[in-house]
Each structure stands twice: as structure tokens, then as C-alpha cells.
Amino acid sequence: MSSDPTPRHVRPYGVIAVTSVAALLATACTSGDASSPVEASPDASAGASVPAPPTSTTTMLAPSSSVSDPPATSLAPSTTGVATSIAADPTSASSSAGNVLLIGDSSLAGVRWYDGASERLRGATFTLDAESCRRVAVPSCGGREDRIPLNVVERILQATPEEYDAVVVMSGYNDAGAGFEQALNEVVGSARAVGIAHTVFLTLTTPTPGRSSIVTAGQNQAVRAFRPGDGAGDLWFVADWQTYSAPFMDQWYEDDHVHLSPTGSYAAADFISRVVANVLDAPCPGETSGTCPIPTAPRPEAQADFTTAPAVRCLEVGESRELVCEPAG
């Protein structure tokens, strides 16, 4: 999408194994008794210092009290991220469009928790890093998996220079409304610092009571209105997941309208895959020509696939990431 003719670094796309939990469900899973998530209060402390982004335009990829997990006690922040890499399917009709860092909080973690969901991330080589209680630019909180993750900015800065062609962010529910625009500036600045040209931010769904919808509305307004700067090939994209998912909230979300259901985890992976293809001027996953159009509604064949998602959620608990499975919902 950038007019900069300088070729970007591309690494060879080998098949990276993705561990499936399907074989573990019969032996390694225990019943969960997780209570309904109640978010820790947003931390208002200052975020990481990153280079300020330059000024440019925003591309809208759409027709034009916090909610999360119980706070953990005595948790030391993680110093490294543990992510799942999903390579483009070598048997697919289309090759990988590029390398993509996909970062989120527990609103995205269903793509990791539900078996088969991460495999619906297609068309690019994705590094999925979705962690409960993650924040955007201030210190994260302790979530249901008993660890404190790096925030979005810190996680981006972990990347090797020129490692990724795009970063996609689905996060914000654990953040306060005040200062969210500055957090977006830090996201773009951190992406610039490690040579990522394309930054995509998903709008947030509106939670059920327990978190003020005014906070979420303000954050979405900040995302839609945000303008990074011109230069350095930086491009900012807004993917309107809120509008796309609105007709399907009862099917795609748990009762809080923040955390994905099994069906929703498949739907989110499909949406993100098609958004990434559009941003990187690539064909839709499974196709060989043209640029994938901006997704405005799920395809009928995809909707049929969404219903095949398993009704078991497998968490990775603690720094050791012990696998603990529980019924979904």
C-alpha cells in the first residue's frame, strides 16, 4: 500500500507447526470454574516511551468501569512474549501476503483458546499474541491465566527490525478512556521504531453492563478519528469489527459482549485474514488474483464453517502455560 519502492525484508515462508489441543482434550483437560470476568481498574500510569509518529491519513476499512478478567495477586510482569506462529498453508491456492504480528487482549484470546480458530488465520504468516488483561500503552493487569502480559507497545518493540509487514491490534477494554489517543500515537511510534509500515486497529464491541458504553464509544471515536503522520511509509488502517460483528453478537460473543464464543473466534480470524489481505494489496485467502475487498459481512460458506468450532476453551495458565480446558461460555 505504500508508495515507497524500497523492497521490504521478507523471510522464507516455511511451515511452522501449530500445536493443536484437540488430542489433549481427552487427557489433559480439567473442568474450569472461572467466574464471570470483572475487569481490574485501568492503570493510569505513563506508557513506554517510543518515537513519535510522523502526520498522515487514516484508511477506514469499514462501511463508512472496564471489562475483562479478575486481577491476579503477586504476579511479576512477563519480560518476554510467547506467541503462536501460523504459516500460510502451502497447499492453498494463494501464497503468504507477508508477515503479520497480531496482538490482542482477552477479547482476541478466543482465537488462541478454541481449537481450530488460529488455523482460520490465512493468507499471511501470522504471529498471534493474545493475552488476558493486556493494555495498550500503560502497564497491563493480571488476568485469568495468572500472568501479567507485556502491553501492546512493549510487545511491538520486542519485534526484530523489519520482521513484520503489518501489525494488527485488537485491544483496549482494559484501558481507561482518557489518554487513548496518546496510546494510539505510541502504538504507531513503536511500529515505526521496528520498521512496521502498516498498523491496523480494530474497533471495539459495546460491552453489556459492567463497563460504561461511553468509555468504549469514546475509544472507538478516538480510533476512527486518529491521524498519524506523513512519511516513513507509515499507514494507519481502521478495521470496523464493531459494525461487522453487530448483527451476530448473540452467536459470536459470550454474555459480556467482550469475549469471543467458539463461533466468534472463527469469525474474528476470518475477518482479520481478509482485512490483512486488503491492507497488503493481496488476494483473499485461497484466491490467486486481485486485491481482497474490505469485508463488510461474513460469506455464507464461512458462516457454515464458524458453527464447527468446539465448545471447549483451553487456557494456558501461568508462566509455564499449563494447559487447562473448560467448557466454553
Q: Which pLDDT belongs to residue 16? A: 26
Average pLDDT over residues 122-151: 96
pLDDT category at 85 given cuts 50, 70, 90 is: low
Asked whether the whole model's pTM tops 0.85, one would answer: no
pLDDT tens for each residue of 260-315: 999 999 999 999 999 999 999 999 999 999 999 999 999 998 999 998 888 899 99
Q: What average pLDDT does the structure give for the chain? A: 78
Closest CA to 18 of 98, 97, 119: 119
Q: Which domains does the chain have, with CATH numbers?
A: 41-327 (3.40.50.1110)
Q: 312: which 3 cell numbers?
A: 471447549
Q: 220: which 3 cell numbers?
A: 472507538
Rounded-to-integer distance, Cα 184 and Cα 226, Å:
8
